[in-house]
Amino acid sequence: MTLAPVDYVILSLYFAFVLGIGWIVKRKVTTSEDFLTSGRSVPVWITSLAFIAANLGAQEVIGMCASGAKYGIMTAHFYWLGAVPAMLFVGVFMMPFYYGSRARSVPEYLKLRFDEKTRALNACTFAVMTVFSSGISMYALGLLFQLVLGWSFTASVLLSAAIVLIYTFLGGLTSAIYNEVLQFFLIVLGFAPLAIMSMLKAGGWSGMAARLPPVMTHAWSYLKEPSQNPMGVEVFGLVAGLGFVLSFGYWCTDFLVVQRAMAADSMSSARRTPLIAAFPKMIMPFIVIVPGVAALALSKMALGYALPLKPDGGPDYDQAMTTLMAQFYPSGMLGLGLTALMASFMSGMAGNVTAFNTVWTYDLYQGYIRKSAPDSHYLWVGRITTVVGVGLSVGTAYLASHFNNIMDFLQLVFGFVNAPLFATFLLGMFWKRATGHGAFTGLLAGTFAAAATHGLTLAENKGGWLGSVVHTFPSTMAQNFWIAIFAWSTCMAVTIVVSLLSAAKPEGELHNLVYGLTDIPHDAHLPWYKRPLPLAAVVIVALVVLNILFW
Amino acid sequence: MRDLRIPIGSFFTLVGVILAVTGVVTGNRAPLETVNVNLYCGFSMLVFGGIMLWLSRRSS
């Protein structure tokens, strides 16, 4: 794939706008809260779009398209079964506690609700995890651009990192959020034409269905047995593992996304952020997954299009998106498509960097290193942390390019740490008897349960390192879902038992932190589209319709 | 910033113009597509950018 001058013009224009937004926002930043939490002043339509864009990294876009080609429309479960219900839950049920507690971060909420050690555990793992995941996605981007465009790995990594660094350094979270909205529109407008054209070329949905095995175009019909579908999962593992534990764990507790809602200008806006975001999120499968399914259908037609092969001879699904672009986009749109890819990468990275900043500055630095300093000091620390965070991400990207196994191992460990989180938050928010000792031991026990499940089971030759294998899963996907289920259940049980054995936190200290001791805002006088519950109801109806259409 | 719709609207208006002009000048060159992709996409983005700018003007 070669780029024409017009493609570079579009890419440069985008960079200019991104930096310009950072420059304009900079004037508003005078305190550390402006820089790290946007001073809770962002309108709801902006926080909503940023809420999805921060998660919509390049790995997500490329990976979802790849999964579309590999697993078919079942991939949409990550959205319709996973993300969207979890987003409804965090908006309707959890945001009153996050926003109402006045905590500046998710770990800070844990400190207010439980205790110092639970916060420290969450803050440390989260800080390390964000740096690594932004490094890993930077590595993926550098590799892709090297493969597709022949750009130097170092040049694309450093250029994209430098631009993210400049605009987050200038305007902090506000700048990241504002840019995420631009990035969101760019991703949609840059990829939607590809989805439409590739699908039309493959004969529309019916044409695709005729050319592919039926499992590729049905989301629910082939889930009775793991052997029926290429994901190797059955309905309980999928619903409980992905739909409940993993998705709720991510969308309801990950500070990267929750931070966007916490930046909203009022409690009502904060609650509506994930709910409004759910509408575009529901549509995203048509933009990122359908092209993957279409790519597979196109490769079965006599068009001369085929998925590129990997060195081991299997199809390289990760290249589905870029090879489609090469087939359907002429110079001009091609530039815009690559700019959209770059934008998705930057939104993901800026999301990680701004979340890392806040957790490091408020939870770790202010919490444990220097407790009381003037605010200007923390603003300065926040800015320096931006530089350090980006630097560490670049370092991780290079580490990943040399030691791929270390990265796989770390991602595995992070998975163990994340799996039980949702149980802790669920109990923390809805059971006032849950205690700090309970939460902390529950989290540790859940992490060990996750590791033990992995060590005692086998899937595609992964796991089983504890010596004996008690169960073999049909796929690593199924293994991951079940690891999550065991981790969550263990964390839930241990937290309840230890909480009952330890002294309860006095009710006076739990105001605005727990259900029953928090004023839920009355909103009956507002029109329906400004109230969380009716909005959530509309989303649920649309979700049911989508699932039935693609049953 | 006064209104985020201004930079977003301006960006897509500019990109729309660039793409539409490219489409008119070069015609189509995509291997698997017969319609003029740049022209149609450019025009759509121009419309989107215009709506953004118009919304922003109307509310101020």
* Residue type at A75 in one-letter notation: T
At A27 the pLDDT is 86
Residue of A nearest to B1 (CA): A25
Classify A202 as helix, strand or coil: coil
At A355 the pLDDT is 93
* CB proximity list for A85: less than 8 A, separation 6 or greater: A243, A247, A248, A543
Residue A522 CB: number of other CB atoms within 10 A? 7
A503 and A378 in one domain?
A: no
CATH number at residue A206: 1.20.1730.10
Higher pLDDT, A432 or A404: A432
A452 and A327 in one domain?
A: no
| C-beta atoms of A333 and B41 within 8 A | yes
Nearest-by-Cβ selection for B7 from A6, A20, A28: A20
Confidence of residue B1 (pLDDT cuts 50, 70, 90): low
A343-369: average pLDDT: 91
Q: Is residue A289 part of a domain?
A: yes
Q: Is residue A27 part of a domain?
A: no
A285 and A143 in one domain?
A: yes
Strands of the sheet with A471-472, listed across from one edge: A462-463, A457-459, A471-472
At A393 the pLDDT is 92
* pLDDT at residue A394 tops 90: yes
Q: What's the DSSP call for residue A264?
A: B
A44 and A74 in one domain?
A: yes
> Helices A5-26 and A153-201: crossing angle, nearest 10°?
110
Contacts of A10 in chain B (CB under 8 A): 15, 18-19
The CA distance from A486 to A471, in Å, is 14
Segment A48-78, tens digit of pLDDT: 999 998 888 777 888 899 999 999 999 999 9
* pLDDT at residue B3 tops 70: yes
Count of domains forming chain A: 2
Answer for the pair A342, A155: CB distance below 8 angstroms, yes or no. Answer: no
Interface residue B19 vs chain A (CB under 8 A) = yes
Instruction: Give the residue extent of every domain in chain B.
Output: 5-59
The CA distance from A210 to A18, in Å, is 43
| Most B-contacting residue of A1, A185, A338 (CB-CB within 10 A), to test interface | A185
A492-509: average pLDDT: 93
| C-beta atoms of A328 and B23 within 8 A | no
A198 and A212 in one domain?
A: yes
Confidence of residue A426 (pLDDT cuts 50, 70, 90): very high
The domain containing residue A427 runs over which residues?
Answer: 407-520
Q: How many CA atoms lie within 13 A of A56 on its CB side?
A: 33
Answer for the pair A161, A416: CB distance below 8 angstroms, yes or no. Answer: no
The CA distance from A418 to A447, in Å, is 8
A396 and A375 in one domain?
A: yes
The separation between the first and the last C-alpha atoms of chain B, rounded to the nearest angstrom, is: 13
Residue of B nearest to A184 (CA): B8
Interfacial residues of A (vs B; Cβ cutoff 8 Å): 6, 9-10, 13-14, 17, 20-21, 24-25, 28, 46, 178, 181-182, 185, 189, 193, 197, 201, 298, 303, 305, 326-333, 336
Contacts of A28 in chain B (CB under 8 A): 1
Interface residue B25 vs chain A (CB under 8 A) = no
| C-beta atoms of B48 and A189 within 8 A | yes
Q: Is residue A57 part of a domain?
A: yes
A415 and A395 in one domain?
A: no
* CB proximity list for A108: less than 8 A, separation 6 or greater: A119, A362, A363
Q: Is residue A30 part of a domain?
A: no
A386 and A415 in one domain?
A: no
Percent of chain A with pLDDT over 90: 60
Instruction: Give me chain A's average pLDDT, please.
Output: 90
Of A53-57, A93-97, A335-339, the poorest mean pLDDT is in A53-57
| C-beta atoms of B1 and A17 within 8 A | no
Nearest-by-Cβ selection for B1 from A9, A17, A24: A24
Q: Is residue A261 part of a domain?
A: yes
Output the CA torsion sign for A367, A370, A376, A378. negative
Interface residue B43 vs chain A (CB under 8 A) = no
* pLDDT at residue A178 tops 70: yes
Query: Which of A464, A443, A442, A445 lies closest to A454, judged by CA?
Result: A464
Written as six digits, the tokens of A272 are 């509506």
The CA distance from B25 to A61, in Å, is 31
At A309 the pLDDT is 87
| C-beta atoms of B15 and A10 within 8 A | yes
User: Alpha helix locations (H) across A265-367?
Assistant: 267-288, 290-299, 320-328, 333-358
The CA distance from A185 to A336, in Å, is 12
Chain B nearest CA to A131, separation (Å): 29
* pLDDT at residue B31 tops 70: yes
A536 and A393 in one domain?
A: yes
- For strand A457-459 and strand A462-463, is the pairing parallel, antiparallel, or unpaired? antiparallel
Q: How would you label A318-355 residue by residue, b for 16+ Cβ within 10 Å and e otherwise?
A: bbbbbbbbbbbbbbbbbbbbbbbbbbbbbbbbbbbbbb
Q: Is residue A325 part of a domain?
A: yes
At A227 the pLDDT is 85
Segment A229-244, tens digit of pLDDT: 888 888 898 898 888 8
The structure tokens 């990468």 sit at A345
* pLDDT at residue A529 tops 90: no
At A180 the pLDDT is 92
| C-beta atoms of B33 and A327 within 8 A | yes
Residue of B nearest to A45 (CA): B4
> Which pTM value belongs to this model?
0.93
Q: Is residue A32 part of a domain?
A: no
Q: Give the largest Cα separation in chain A, rounded.
A: 71
At A60 the pLDDT is 81
